[in-house]
Structure 1
Amino acid sequence: MPSPAPFSRYEFLIAWRYLRARRSEGGVSVMTWISLIGIALGVMALIATLAVRAGFRTEFVDTILGANAHSSVYMAPTSFTNDLTGETYTQSGRIEDYDALAARIADIPGVTRANALVRGQVMVTSGDRSNVAEVYGVTPEALEAIPRITDPETSAGNIADFPEGIAIGEGIARELAVGIGDTVRLISPNGARTAMGTTPRVSSFEVTYIFSAGRYDIDRTRIYMPFTEAQSYFNREGAADEIEVYVAEPERVETLTPALLQAAGQGALVWNWKDASSSFLSALDIEDDVMFVILSVLVLIAAMNITSGLVMLVKNKGRDIGILRTMGLTEGAVLRVFFLCGAFTGILGTLAGVVLGVALALNVENIMSLLNAATAGGAWQAEVRGIYKLPAELRAWDVGRAVALSLVLSFLVTLFPARRAARMSPVEALRYE
């Protein structure tokens, strides 16, 4: 008569019977519940943490790509001497043929658009309030193409009025207590150069548009000014500071660097969004790995409870093991029975953890809103985190590796007590019965 196939129906029935046994019958139901709950909480924490980390990175990158150029082309700094004063100045490289250069760059495969930019630092004031800001001189068409700036749900005013004034971040507007139609003064230290030196330039501008880029540091420091006005204000007549480049695949922007340098010619430099945020993105990747390892240890600790429960179960079921062995149950069958006992606990705990983790990840923003309300905004501070909300992004890869980790650990820790049960001698098991 052929022997039954591994993991036959009777092995599942015996394992399930042992798991459901009352403590008075030699079962360890309490220990099983402790193991199951521990694994469920560990998997829940792992999935929720990975989802929050993924959401944070996605939101951070989205705010970068949604409010900044994917790459910038500029010229190396140059030095010159003022003939009147004899003073030597170092200034950023000027791009004289910016329209032609932008057209050449836009023709590169993979580049979606390119536009000239004038950039400068100013002090912006209104009444007795002041703030430091960075001015971006762009054309109205270029401004309208920036998704985070033109979002109607987070902006105020009509972007069509931009040529008549300036656009400022909501952080600047809040700190200066200004709104649409109000006037602010911009003070630039690099104004007109005369025989007496450089005099600051002070000009007044009407606020025609207020935007929110989703980043605290951008909203409180950035101002957009019409391109021709910026050229005049920053002494850039007939020139631009850099060419902003937008590409179809921002995550592969570095592959276009050689083509950009070739199109720009000698003396050109390229700086992309990954270069600007490389240290922060690297820190996020390291934190992701560290958090996964730490939470994996928590899942392992929870899974070790399965070992404790099975050791007790094997001890309590010694008589049953002896009887089953004398009835013809092989060592392999006994091993599989107790392996299934631990596997059931691991599988059920993992499934419960997935449900709880997904539910927690989907409601992170609501939970953070409640915490912020309870702590008067102390739970999430935008000025520290950089972004205004804590999103979560559930990825199949993250859920899959959390499930795989939990199941592998649960199965591995089950092998030792199951092997011990399989090697138990029927004579020894029944000696004192």
Structure 2
Amino acid sequence: MASSTAPFSPFEFMIAWRYLRARRAEGGVSVMTWISLIGIMLGVAALIITLAVRAGFRGEFVDTILGANAHVTVYSAPTEVVENSGIYSRLMRDYEDRAARIREVPGVTRAAPLVRGQVMVTLADRSNVAEVYGIAAGDLMTIPRVAQSEEALGDIDRFGEGIAMGSGLARELGVSVGDKVKLISPNGAKTAFGTSPRVSAYEVVYIFTAGRWDIDRTRIYMPFAEAQSYFNREGGADEIEVDVTEPERVDDWTPQLIAAGGAGTMLWSWRDASGSFLRALDMEDNVMFVILSVLVLIATMNITSGLIMLVKNKGRDIGILRTMGLTEGSVLRVFFLCGAFTGVMGTLLGLVLGVVFSLNIEHVMNFINWLNGGGAWDPSVRGIYELPAKLRAVDIAKAVGLSLGLSFVVTIFPARRAARLNPVEALRYE
């Protein structure tokens, strides 16, 4: 009859559950069970929270890059201005034709000629450096993080009448919409006595927040024709910003973009600019997963300690069950279920705690800021303004699978020890 008993029968679950509910005299077993459960819960929660924060940070970082910068920048190799003059320039004279050819490449969604330059921007007694992007009004409208900024001030439709400025730069200078700022460029008008600095005043008609600290603090957009005149780029452009349908696969467009750009075309993609940082993030993700996996393993090892104590306390019971006809397999499954219950409950509680914590990460960071008096998250170091969290099914599955797998594995050894206990030896001194 015993041999025909199906594995994991209801009576095995019943015995395992009764063993977990230790009497007061066996309080040590109960304490070890709670320690194991809490340890697994905290380990799983920490793993889920870490993976969610890392995924959220990477997603937000990439989104701010792609939402305010080109996926690919097309520019020219240096060419000699006049034969044998020794003077070289990267200025594109045929930028309109190049941009038109690039737009015809399948998968290209945007190709916008740009003029770029560095200036000093001043208002009253305040000054700072800025990077100016000369761009057509229609092309500016296609930059999501600028044209569709949720915290924007002013009217972007008036872009042709003035300039657009990042919110960080505007805050440092004390600029409001409607103020006129002076832009000072060292490469100004060319005279018989050399090049004199160029000083021009422009009205700030639009203030945007792109979501990246370095962009909001340094960037100014100027109408394309005005930028050509201001930076002495008449009839030319410095580069062409290109967006594609799948930025993560931007390298797939390299041959087609070079062919469309013509001789001397060179490319610089967002991966070239930020690839090393993203690779570092991926490496840190792997390291953090390994470290937290070790913490989960340590927590699950407490299950082994608790089960060894339980087997020692229940030696008499095991002997009686074996003499009643319980097989080694049934005894093994009973004690395996004892450990599995602890692992499953700890994992489920850790899953709930990790998900709730990740969904409320903003409130948690606000509380930490309140405790520290601010400064817990420095956007000048991290690049983005807040710590995001992104729960992904694959990350949750990895954390839950790891915890359950380790819990089941560490349970096998003490369960086998209980199954192999000789009933004669167990009952000899009873």
Instruction: Give the TM-score, by structure 2 length.
Output: 0.96
Q: What residue in structure 1 maps to residue 57 of structure 2? A: 56
Q: What residue in structure 2 maps to residue 70 of structure 1? A: 71
The 5 A counterparts of 1:31-430 are 31-79=32-80, 89-91=87-89, 93-430=90-427
- Partners of 2:48 and 2:351 within 8 A in 1: yes
- Partners of 2:149 and 2:210 within 8 A in 1: no
- Partners of 1:169 and 1:212 within 8 A in 2: yes
The structure-2 alpha-carbon separation of the partners of 1:78 and 1:335, relative to structure 1 and needing over 3 Å to count, comes to: same
Aligned length: 429
Post-superposition shift, 1:202? 1.4
TM-superposition CA deviations, 1:33-91 (whole Å, max 9, x none): 111011001111110111111111111111101111111111012455899xx9x6554
Post-superposition shift, 1:239? 0.7
Q: What residue in structure 2 maps to residue 3 of structure 1? A: 4
- Partners of 1:18 and 1:27 within 8 A in 2: no
Tell me the amino acid that sits aligned with residue 210 of structure 1: I
CA distance in 1, matches of 2:273, 2:149: 28
TM-superposition CA deviations, 1:259-290 (whole Å, max 9, x none): 00010111111111111101111111111111
- Partners of 1:39 and 1:350 within 8 A in 2: yes
Tell me the amino acid that sits aligned with residue 320 of structure 1: D
- Three-state SS of the structure 1 residue aligned to 2:339 is helix
Q: Which runs of 5+ in 1 are unaligned?
A: none
Q: What residue in structure 2 maps to residue 30 of structure 1? A: 31
The structure-2 alpha-carbon separation of the partners of 1:432 and 1:79, relative to structure 1 and needing over 3 Å to count, comes to: farther
The structure-2 alpha-carbon separation of the partners of 1:26 and 1:161, relative to structure 1 and needing over 3 Å to count, comes to: closer
- Partners of 1:180 and 1:210 within 8 A in 2: yes
Post-superposition shift, 1:378? 1.2
Post-superposition shift, 1:123? 1.0
CA distance in 2, matches of 1:159, 1:361: 36
The structure-2 alpha-carbon separation of the partners of 1:204 and 1:89, relative to structure 1 and needing over 3 Å to count, comes to: farther
- Partners of 1:166 and 1:223 within 8 A in 2: yes
- Partners of 1:101 and 1:264 within 8 A in 2: yes
The structure-2 alpha-carbon separation of the partners of 1:368 and 1:264, relative to structure 1 and needing over 3 Å to count, comes to: same
Post-superposition shift, 1:420? 0.9
- Partners of 2:149 and 2:209 within 8 A in 1: no
* Identity rate, percent: 70
Tell me the amino acid that sits aligned with residue 31 of structure 2: V
- Partners of 1:26 and 1:316 within 8 A in 2: no
Post-superposition shift, 1:196? 2.9
Post-superposition shift, 1:392? 0.7
Please identify, of 145-154 and 107-116, the stretch whose mean Cα deviation from structure 2 is larger.
145-154
Post-superposition shift, 1:374? 3.2
Post-superposition shift, 1:25? 5.2
- Three-state SS of the structure 2 residue aligned to 1:136 is strand
Post-superposition shift, 1:144? 1.1
